Structure 1
Amino acid sequence: MEEQGSQIVFILFSGAFLAAVMAIFVVSMVILHRQRQVQNKQKMEQIKVEYEKTLLNIENEIQQDTLAHIGRELHDNIGQLLSLSKLYLGSSKPEKQQEGRQLINQIITEVRGLSKTLNLDWVESITLREFIEQQLEKIQATGFCDTSIDLSGNETNLPKDKKLVLIRVVQECLNNAIKHASPSRLTVKLDYLGSDLKLQIRDDGKGFDMSIPSKGSGMTNLQKRMETIGGSFHISSSPGKGTEINLSLSI
């Protein structure tokens, strides 16, 4: 009887011990799960803050570039047109006065065009391909180097926020090529692959040694900007063999 009693006590004690272990395990898992939820929530909030900060910085940069462009246009283009129209309208010759009136109409058109660039509504009205084509045409027109663009797949109009980030990243990549690479040719490839967008920017310029740490933070900033919209940024280069930048994004 005593032996049976001891066995019963042992069984009860073992059961209680196992129940306590299970309870501790369950409580630990619940605490761990809640900690992970808090960490994930904090991480999501941080990503959201970085995303909003990136968009704000990009909007400010584009607006600053726009204001600088408007300043140049007012001084170099519209200012000259106004001076000419003043001379023509002050002439006693009817044909000169007519030319002056035509210049006034041209000035009105130019000013209307500039006013549209003061906000970012133009981002929604232009496709990524059209924007890149405009940028490459400007580069080609300067005689700096030859340019080309290749599009494959069915183009999809991106949401404004993602398009805004891509526009700025592309601008920076093209500007870097012009400033540092001295290329004879710039090529851009746009591939729409279902729900994925692949964008390649390649130049045949100087290139650089990627094993040497960069002194600036330009490329790191571009990579972070792509990450804020769920994309990726990859660059490859070597001295004398140009530079290739590949961007990818789910759309």
Structure 2
Amino acid sequence: MTEQESQILLIIFGGIFLGAIMSSFVVAMVVLHRQRQVQNKQKINQLQTEFEKTLLNVENEIQQETLTHIGRELHDNIGQLLSLSKLYLGSSKPEKQAEGRNLITKIITEVRGLSKTLNLDWVESMSLQDFISQQLQKIQETGFCETSLHTNGKEPSFPKDKKLVLIRVIQECLNNAIKHASPSKIEVNIPQNPGEYQIHISDNGKGFDTSVKSEGSGMYNLKKRMETIGGKFLVTSTPGKGTEIKLFLPN
């Protein structure tokens, strides 16, 4: 075999070897890509399952709170109004009977208002800002502490399920401040940030050391709930200097 023939064979075998390497590389990339597709699909399914579970828990919690509220209203408010209306309507004085009829009208209005809270349709009709404003007003009316709400910009439109989870997270943040922080003021800020909706909830209460692991799972659950709707939960706090919670959700 001549030197030229040896070089040709070397080139041929080299080409075959390089082709085999390239083929193996392509096959490996295809297999890796399919594995990633399967992993991504599994991750998406897991996130969907977590979101559905979170949504179900949130709906159950809100409905349970609603039933508790309705029971309290029926006993303390509507029950008292019915008793008064019965006394007034049983009176022989026209002015008392008129007052009884006015009370019946008020009772009807109150019952209609309660009936609307039995389902979650109010979530779609109420903006987050209105919901936060109502919650803060309720806190202030109790005399527990001062509250304030600062907004900047138009509120984006969120699907009902995401809004429901966000509403529950906001409720829990406010409840935690009331139960654990003993603040004299709770403040909510909604800054304008293109591409990302933010809610900042702060109080001037006791605060806590975030580096110390809590015995409860409250903060962890709130963080996981925000993650299920594609958001983020960030808390900063210092003992004696209050707490600030920031909720981030892409528009």
Q: Under TM normalisation by the shorter chain, which class is it?
A: over 0.9
The one-character-per-residue Cα deviations of 1:163-182 (angstroms, maximum 9, x if unpaired) are 21111111000000000000
1:195-214 matches, within 5 Å, as 195-214=195-214
- TM superposition shift of 1:161: 2.0
Amino acid at match of 1:72: R
Corresponding position: 1:173 with 2:140: no
Q: Hey, what does 1:30 align to over in structure 2?
A: 30
Q: Tell me how far apart the structure 1 counterparts of residues 83 and 239 of structure 2 sit (CA, whole Å).
A: 50
1:53-68 matches, within 5 Å, as 53-68=53-68
Counterparts in 2 of 1:157 and 1:15: CA distance versus 1, 3 Å: closer
Q: Hey, what does 1:190 align to over in structure 2?
A: 190
The one-character-per-residue Cα deviations of 1:148-199 (angstroms, maximum 9, x if unpaired) are 0101122334322222111111100000000000000000001232332111
1:7-22 matches, within 5 Å, as 7-22=7-22
Amino acid at match of 1:58: V
Q: Tell me how far apart the structure 2 counterparts of residues 109 and 245 of structure 1 sit (CA, whole Å).
A: 37
Select between 195-204 and 90-99 the one with higher mean Cα deviation: 90-99
TM-score, normalised relative to structure 2: 0.96
| Contact 1:70–1:114 (Cα < 8 Å) also in 2 | yes
Q: Hey, what does 2:94 align to over in structure 1?
A: 94
Q: Tell me how far apart the structure 2 counterparts of residues 141 and 100 of structure 1 sit (CA, whole Å).
A: 28
Q: Hey, what does 2:163 align to over in structure 1?
A: 163
Amino acid at match of 1:116: K
| Contact 1:195–1:250 (Cα < 8 Å) also in 2 | yes
Q: Tell me how far apart the structure 2 counterparts of residues 186 and 231 of structure 1 sit (CA, whole Å).
A: 23
Corresponding position: 1:79 with 2:79: yes
Q: Tell me how far apart the structure 2 counterparts of residues 199 and 19 of structure 1 sit (CA, whole Å).
A: 57
Q: Tell me how far apart the structure 2 counterparts of residues 210 and 37 of structure 1 sit (CA, whole Å).
A: 37
Q: Tell me how far apart the structure 2 counterparts of residues 126 and 63 of structure 1 sit (CA, whole Å).
A: 17
Amino acid at match of 2:188: V
SS at match of 1:192: coil
| Contact 1:234–1:246 (Cα < 8 Å) also in 2 | yes
The one-character-per-residue Cα deviations of 1:190-243 (angstroms, maximum 9, x if unpaired) are 123233211111100011111211001100111111111111110011111010
Amino acid at match of 1:137: Q
| Contact 1:156–1:192 (Cα < 8 Å) also in 2 | no
Q: Hey, what does 1:219 align to over in structure 2?
A: 219
Select between 153-162 and 233-242 the one with higher mean Cα deviation: 153-162
Equivalent pairs: percent with the same residue? 70
The one-character-per-residue Cα deviations of 1:41-82 (angstroms, maximum 9, x if unpaired) are 111111111112111111111111101100100111111111
The alignment's C-alpha RMSD in Å is 1.3
SS at match of 2:192: strand
SS at match of 2:150: strand
Q: Tell me how far apart the structure 2 counterparts of residues 84 and 198 of structure 1 sit (CA, whole Å).
A: 47
